[in-house]
Amino acid sequence: MKETPRQGIARSYQKWLALLVLLCFMAATVFLWVTQTQLSEKSAVDLMRLNISDVRQDISDASDENLLTLTHQIAAEVTSLATVNSSMLKVLSYRFDVAEINLIDETGIIIATTHDDFLNYDMASGTQSAEFLVLLDGETEFAQSYQPTSHDPTLYRKYGGVALESGGFLQVGYDFQRYRRDVNSVLRGVTRNRHVGEGGCIIIADSNWNIVSDRHGNEWEQLSITGLQIDPALTPPNHCFQSTVYGVDSYCMYIEAEGYYAVAVMPQHEAVLSRNVSVGTTLLVELVVFAALFVLVYILTKRLIVNNLEKINGSLSQISSGNLEAVVDVRTHREFSTLSDDINATVDTLKRYISDAEARIDAELEFARTIQYSSLPSVFPPFPSRRDFDIWAGMYTAKEVGGDFYDFYLLNEETLAFLVADVSGKGIPAAMFMMSAKSVLKSLAESGMPIEEVFIQANEKLCEGNDTGMFLTAWMGFLNTTTGHLRFVNAGHNPPVIRRNNEDFTYLKSRSGLPLAGMEGVRYRPHELQLAPGDTIFLYTDGVTESSNIQEAFYGEGRLLDVLNENACSGAEALCGAVKTDLDAFVGDAEQFDDITLLSVTFHGKPAPLELVLDATVENIETVTDFVTAQLEEAGCPMRVQMQLCVAIDELFGNIARYAYPNGIGQATVQLLLSKNPGMAEITFIDQGIPFNPLTLAEPDTTLSAEERSIGGLGIHLVKKTMDDVIYVYREDRNILTIRKRF
Amino acid sequence: MKLTMNKTGASLEAKVAERLDTTTAPQFEKELSAQLEGVTELILDFAELSYVSSAGLRVLLSTQKVMNKQGKMILRHVNENIMEVFEITGFVDILTIEE
């Protein structure tokens, strides 16, 4: 499974949203900052420009007024004169301490002047002088700014003119020194009460950057004392620049006016105050707006997407944990509706596939179960002719194929092997292991070795290549059906229940070995027990005692003992049936989780046969035949079977009479065992003559013609063909031949 | 074993009763062979015979061989037990059995 990212969508969204909002916020702040800075600078510049132009006007007004007053006084003097000539004007110029006086007639020609070379100069011929022509057009006075003259551009003068009543006008010009003297005193007051903004000021300096007027009282000092250093070549007039003035970082601007420099100074902190306030306020508002936006988007995301996704995830985790009946049903939006439908459709498809697969697996398991069942002895009664014991076994598998099994078989005429085993685990692997274990045990047991050796060798064989680590518990017994002697070995299996001498059933506790296939090299000890006729031993697997009902209570060993005791006198089949019925009643509707296997053996022993001991002579055949037929008659044996038995007696006893004792007459014993239901006759011929197994005689050829036929071997052939069993053993110096015939 | 014989010219009819086994076969053989001289048709009536063992079969075989030379031998009224024995041993192919 892939590693699950720890971060949810909401958290991711939150992160990116916060980042975006922060970026927007910062961009807006920077933009605002820049624009507000520009705005504040502009307003500072505007303010300075306004103030500075006022100052320029003040300077101009002051100098104009000064000059025009002087000009009017001179004009009054001139008007009072009868005639005016240049010399008279020179007198006046000395008197009034002006640099130049010109009298211009109605046509704009200088008709009298303090400077002779200006005589007859046409005012219209220079741009500077031409400005004065307005006085001929009705203006009464005109003052010109301080500037180079038209006549001599190196010469700076300030001119004023007054129209004369007699026509023409009088022009007065004064030079720098006179102009300064007059104007400086006026300008001293100009800056005193003038503020640029709150803390800014105006400084007026002359053309040599000597302070003329300054609120701080630094008149006649160099401008640099304030901290300002202005080089007109680098810093053009009428442009804003920054400098430290009187220790304060300030915006500054200067202009030239009438030969003076007016410098406006505005502290920067004042200029940016409005910007800071405006940016601060806006930031606060933005902060609120963005926070609200962030919260809104987050909530919407959470409600519309994350919550729905969580609902879908809830259903999906139910589905993935096995509840395929869970349905995804989120219908708030079209997209979720489609998603829900798609998931449901997928789950439906999955369900269909699963049920198909289940059906297939069920069929295969059923097949496996059938094979498993068919490998167990299932025909009951398994040994119908045997009266010396009664055996019945049953296995009831749980839904899954399991690893329980039982088995029983005759190792020889009088040894019954029977076992019950339980393989660890369930399913096909357990079933396969069970088949292997069953055949290993059977082949070892049938090879004739003692029971403990069977387990020791089976353990070795089953340990080989047991990579899956499976093992099985098993209880196996070899019962001598004649003597009732039982030898058994327990490999970790539940103790069987035994009933002896008509007493109650009890658990047969014995020292148990390790389960088979658990570990190599394990030794198993045999246990021995002598059974009396009527004793019963009941084997089972833990599926019996550990069956649980709906209340999850175990069936338990006590209940098993009870039901066995209640049915103590039943036959093997009835006993197993009673246990199963009781178990079913206890379990009720609860599911069967484990296989249930039952096996019951009751030892009856052989009844004492009717015995006839007599000389082995041909004459005695009739005695034997009469003895047997009398008993058969009483047992209700059909005539046909009686005749077959008579033929067999004639052949077998006849053989003993003729061949067993070649050196005289010996004795023979004839034993007869009869049972009525089902009818069965067992006759055993015992002699102490020469060992001879008639069953080894060659079969006669029954197809030859009369001339070719010999008679040898026909008798035994007849017996074998007509009897159900013919068994020969040589034991304790005796030929023992047994025939059985069911009827 | 009881043997009742009735000879008519060259034809001999022998009725066998009870059983033909190890004990009785030698007597049967002895009594029958004494009468077989010049017989061309031997009829053995087994109506009263209950069973035949291999000793009886041996006598029947030897008699059949004699009669094969002199004439014929016919078995009558063979019960199912004896018939089964004849079938098992292949004697049905050697003997002539009539109903």
pLDDT number for residue A506: 92
CATH 3.40.50.2000 fits A190-269, yes or no: no
Rounded to an integer, what distance in angstroms lies between the CA atom of residue A549 and that of residue A210? 119
Helix runs in B15-79, H state only: 25-35, 54-70
CB-based contact A704 B22, cutoff 8 Å: no
Any chain B CB within 8 A of the CB of A526? no
Rounded to an integer, what distance in angstroms lies between the CA atom of residue A490 and that of residue A473? 8
Rounded to an integer, what distance in angstroms lies between the CA atom of residue A716 and that of residue A336? 91
Q: Which helix (H) or strand (E) holds A509?
A: none
Peptide bond preceding A609 in cis form (omega within 30 of 0): no
CB-based contact A621 B50, cutoff 8 Å: no
A·B CB contacts under 8 A:
79
Q: What is the DSSP string of A233-254?
A: TTS-TT--EEEEETTEEEEEEE
CB-based contact B23 A644, cutoff 8 Å: no
pLDDT number for residue A454: 95
A701, A703, A706: residue with CB nearest B68:
A706
Decide which of 3.30.70.100, 2.30.40.10, 2.20.130.10, 3.60.40.10 is the CATH code for A380-603.
3.60.40.10
Any chain A CB within 8 A of the CB of B64? yes
For residue A735, give Cα distances in angstroms to A231, A619, A650. Answer: 154, 21, 17
DSSP state of A82: S
Rounded to an integer, what distance in angstroms lies between the CA atom of residue A512 and that of residue A499? 20
Token pair for residue A659? 């061949």
Mean predicted confidence (pLDDT) in A654-671: 91
Residue in chain B lying closest to A638 (CA): B81
Give residue for tokens 């609200």.
A292
- How does pLDDT run across A325-345, given as a tens digit for each residue? 888 888 888 888 898 899 889
- How does pLDDT run across A463-479, given as a tens digit for each residue? 987 888 889 999 999 99
Distance from CA of A721 to the nearest CA of B (A): 7
Q: Which CATH architecture has domain A610-742?
A: 2-Layer Sandwich (3.30)
The model's confidence at residue B49, banded by pLDDT at 50, 70 and 90, is very high
Residue in chain B lying closest to A699 (CA): B89
pLDDT number for residue A236: 87
Residue in chain A lying closest to B52 (CA): A647
B50, B54, B89: residue with CB nearest A702:
B89
Measure CA of the first residue to CA of the last residue in chain B; give whole Å: 22
Residues of B in contact with A715 (CB under 8 A): 53-55
Residue in chain B lying closest to A649 (CA): B53
Residues of B in contact with A622 (CB under 8 A): 23
Rounded to an integer, what distance in angstroms lies between the CA atom of residue A213 and that of residue A500? 143
Q: In what order do the strands lie in the sheet with A505-507?
A: A389-396, A596-603, A536-540, A497-499, A505-507
A643, A701, A705: residue with CB nearest B51:
A643
The domain segmentation of chain B, as residue ranges, is 2-98
Q: What is the DSSP string of A568-593?
A: TTS-HHHHHHHHHHHHHHHHTTSPP-
Rounded to an integer, what distance in angstroms lies between the CA atom of residue A266 and that of residue A274? 14
Distance from CA of B62 to the nearest CA of A (A): 8
CB-based contact A718 B54, cutoff 8 Å: yes
Looking at chain A, the whole-number percentage of residues with pLDDT higher than 70 is: 98
Any chain A CB within 8 A of the CB of B25? no
The model's confidence at residue A677, banded by pLDDT at 50, 70 and 90, is low
For residue A573, give Cα distances in angstroms to A453, A600, A604. Answer: 31, 8, 15
Residues of B in contact with A659 (CB under 8 A): none
Distance from CA of B59 to the nearest CA of A (A): 10
The model's confidence at residue A1, banded by pLDDT at 50, 70 and 90, is very low
Residues of A in contact with B64 (CB under 8 A): 706
Buried b (16+ CB within 10 A) or exposed e, B61-82: bbbbeebeeebebebebbbebb
Amino acid at A300: L
Looking at the DSSP bridge assignments, the partners of residue B44 are B14, B75
Residue in chain A lying closest to B62 (CA): A706
Residues of B in contact with A701 (CB under 8 A): 90
Any chain B CB within 8 A of the CB of A706? yes
CB A101 within 8 A of CB A74: yes
Q: Which of A153-167, A321-335, A410-424 has the highest mean pLDDT?
A: A410-424
Fold match, A190-269 / A610-742: no
Rounded to an integer, what distance in angstroms lies between the CA atom of residue A202 and that of residue A207? 16
Q: How much is the mean pLDDT over chain A?
A: 87
Residues of A in contact with B21 (CB under 8 A): 621, 646-647, 650, 654
Looking at the DSSP bridge assignments, the partners of residue A669 are A613, A686
Residues of B in contact with A643 (CB under 8 A): 50-51, 81
CB-based contact B22 A618, cutoff 8 Å: yes
Peptide bond preceding A381 in cis form (omega within 30 of 0): yes
Residue A300 has pLDDT above 50, yes or no: yes
For residue B88, give Cα distances in angstroms to A655, A700, A719, A727, B49. Answer: 20, 11, 10, 20, 18
Amino acid at A560: L
Q: How much is the mean pLDDT over chain B?
A: 91
Topology of B2-98 in CATH? Answer: Transcription Regulator spoIIAA (3.30.750)
Decide which of 3.30.230.70, 3.30.450.20, 1.20.1260.10, 3.40.50.720 is the CATH code for A13-180.
3.30.450.20
DSSP state of A305: I
pLDDT number for residue A7: 65
Rounded to an integer, what distance in angstroms lies between the CA atom of residue A226 and that of residue A216? 9
Mean predicted confidence (pLDDT) in A86-91: 86
Distance from CA of A673 to the nearest CA of B (A): 23
Token pair for residue A485? 């002697």
Residue A552 has pLDDT above 90, yes or no: no
pLDDT number for residue B15: 94
Mean predicted confidence (pLDDT) in A696-704: 83
A661: three-class secondary structure by DSSP = coil
Residue B64, C-beta contacts closer than 8 angstroms, at least 6 positions apart: A706, B73, B94, B95
Any chain B CB within 8 A of the CB of A708? no
Mean predicted confidence (pLDDT) in B29-50: 91
Any chain B CB within 8 A of the CB of A711? yes
Any chain A CB within 8 A of the CB of B20? no
Rounded to an integer, what distance in angstroms lies between the CA atom of residue A592 and that of residue A428? 18
Distance from CA of A703 to the nearest CA of B (A): 6
For residue A116, give Cα distances in angstroms to A160, A421, A651. Answer: 19, 155, 197
- Among residues A588, A542, A585, A587, the alpha carbon closest in space to that of A566 is found at A585
Residue B63 has pLDDT above 50, yes or no: yes
Other Cβ atoms less than 10 A from the Cβ of A703: the count is 10
Any chain B CB within 8 A of the CB of A626? no
Looking at chain A, the whole-number percentage of residues with pLDDT higher than 90 is: 27
Token pair for residue B34? 């004494």
The model's confidence at residue A260, banded by pLDDT at 50, 70 and 90, is confident
Residue A524 has pLDDT above 90, yes or no: yes
Q: Report, in this order, helix, strand and coil percent for chain B, each rounded to 5.
A: 40, 35, 20
Any chain A CB within 8 A of the CB of B54? yes
CB-based contact B53 A718, cutoff 8 Å: yes
Substitution target in B46, B53, B83 with the highest count of A β-carbons within 10 Å is B53
Residue A417 has pLDDT above 90, yes or no: yes
CB-based contact B21 A702, cutoff 8 Å: no
For residue A441, give Cα distances in angstroms to A125, A406, A455, A487, A522. Answer: 148, 11, 7, 15, 16
Token pair for residue A522? 């394990």
The model's confidence at residue A485, banded by pLDDT at 50, 70 and 90, is very high
Q: What is the DSSP string of A137-198?
A: GT-SEEE--SEE-SS-TT-EEEEEEEE-TTSSEEEEEE-HHHHHHHHHHHHHTTTTT--BTT
Q: Which helix (H) or strand (E) holds A605?
A: none
CB-based contact A722 B84, cutoff 8 Å: yes
Mean predicted confidence (pLDDT) in A136-162: 83
Residue A284, C-beta contacts closer than 8 angstroms, at least 6 positions apart: none
B50, B68, B90: residue with CB nearest A702:
B90
Substitution target in A643, A658, A717, A721 with the highest count of B β-carbons within 10 Å is A643
Residues of B in contact with A629 (CB under 8 A): none
CB-based contact B58 A711, cutoff 8 Å: yes
The domain segmentation of chain A, as residue ranges, is 13-180, 190-269, 327-374, 380-603, 610-742
Other Cβ atoms less than 10 A from the Cβ of B6: the count is 12
φ, ψ of residue A495 to 5 degrees: the values are -65, 135
Residue in chain B lying closest to A657 (CA): B22
